[in-house]
Structure 1
């Protein structure tokens, strides 16, 4: 151990390092206890050494001479010394900070495996992480992400013209990620998504007219991907969700009872979809492939259709439909047609698998003619009353 007052002069021109000392000499400062200057042949490095409350020796690197000055290194050593006097353990704190993973690493190694096991909507969660969240925040450690980063991300998502629902789902996933990281004690910071409000969602009311539906079926008849065409047709005649149809298996279909059972629906429960005559005709037109359990098989062995994006784009174009019409609008259309033909919201809700009547109401977009007919009910009631009154006075 070599004791000396570590000064600018000593750092600028230290004595030559004897080879017998292993190529380095350490100077222990006589003014600031724990402040060390390590001299090697080509580099000088500053350290701070201390003993924590458990009587364990710890050492922290302060920086290389040239990157920091002697005065800067001494000042930092004095700050750390004061921290230790107050019961702190700077080395352990530094190790803890370095152990906090980046957002990308946490999502890949911890969150997505958890989501795969616990969330039935895992594909949409994985997609949101891969396309929106990780590209924006992935390189930062979890404790480095602040509210300003989240606000900037949400602003970019809104500016990219994503729907309010998509932006909200991204924020909800992000909030869940940080809640789990804190629950699992990956870090101790606050959740940076706190107090950030959801985007106001504008629910679309698009549904197809009879003319548009006829054009759609003409286009489906000509669609080259017959599996996709059948899947889209079944959506029209059942009001099912896209994921439910893509994952439908023949074992879920009871043709005798005319029931299609969805083992796990969006609300977390099995649901039963009645199969109309037209739905049965769609199913009858599908070919059952050996070794493939899915009603709408994909290209891979034993796999379902991966998606409907391409076929739906072709069908829309061939049918002359607006480019903004979504597959989910077929579900809207199904509900609207049923309500417009006198079916109750309760019946429609049961078919669609809604647990709340308010949800069904949002899907049932009544046509203006139906609303006018409803408004005319008062006139019809009055006229019926007059007829009855006249009959009493003129027997």
Structure 2
């Protein structure tokens, strides 16, 4: 069940699968609706604003992990990454893609996809909602490699909040 919830969060936040797999409860503020990554792939702190759908998923996930450790972690004895451990917290990378790959046919999924494709789908939806790629880039936490990026230290929190809220609303309306 946690894997299904994790897939939803991938789409609702457009975060990288590794970022979601390693998301800790201590980095999530459900009241403020913000997930703060102390560092991300580009080495910068990144705040992800959590829309209504993302909050619902995180509240469901809390039932499985008791709100401790990793948001999508294991709470029992499981075999992961070839090692059996008690109370292992972090989910292995293959644990995210393997379940869906094994069941494409039983789920009647005609066009095969992988976890990273949800990030691409979310980014495409954002670009379509705003008619601007820069909003998708902000939500994806991509950096611009031009000279202005060196001088511009604004974190674009308002814009990211607006962007992810619009994405969550668009997904909710299309369900």
Show the counterpart of 1:296.
Answer: 72
Structure 1: tracts of 5 or more residues without a match: 1-225, 359-395
Show the counterpart of 1:320.
Answer: 109
Residues paired across the two proteins, number:
132
CA RMSD across the alignment = 2.2
Do residues 283 (structure 1) and 71 (structure 2) align? Answer: no
Show the counterpart of 1:335.
Answer: 123
CA distance in structure 1 between the partners assigned to 2:67 and 2:114 by the alignment: 32
Structure of higher CA gyration radius: 1
**How much has 1:346 moved relative to structure 2?**
2.5
**How much has 1:290 moved relative to structure 2?**
5.0
Q: Is the 8 A contact 2:124 2:136 kept in 1?
A: no
SS in 1 for 2:36: strand
Distance 1:237 1:265, change over 3 A: same
Q: TM-score if structure 2 supplies the norm length? A: 0.67
**How much has 1:319 moved relative to structure 2?**
4.6
Distance 1:265 1:342, change over 3 A: same
Q: TM-score if structure 1 supplies the norm length? A: 0.31
CA distance in structure 1 between the partners assigned to 2:36 and 2:50 by the alignment: 10
**How much has 1:311 moved relative to structure 2?**
1.9
Following superposition, which runs of at least 4 residues in structure 1 exceed 6 angstroms of deviation? none
Residues 54-101 of structure 1 deviation map (CA, whole Å, 9 limit, x = unaligned) = xxxxxxxxxxxxxxxxxxxxxxxxxxxxxxxxxxxxxxxxxxxxxxxx
CA distance in structure 1 between the partners assigned to 2:130 and 2:38 by the alignment: 29
**How much has 1:335 moved relative to structure 2?**
0.7
Any residues of structure 2 matched to 1:1-395 within 5 Å, and which? 226-286=1-61, 287-290=63-66, 292-298=68-74, 299=78, 300-307=86-93, 308-314=96-102, 316-317=104-105, 318-323=107-112, 325-342=113-130, 344-356=132-144
Report 1 or 2 for greater relative contact order, CA contacts < 8 Å, sequence distance ≥ 6. 2
**How much has 1:288 moved relative to structure 2?**
4.8
Structure 2: tracts of 5 or more residues without a match: 79-85, 147-175
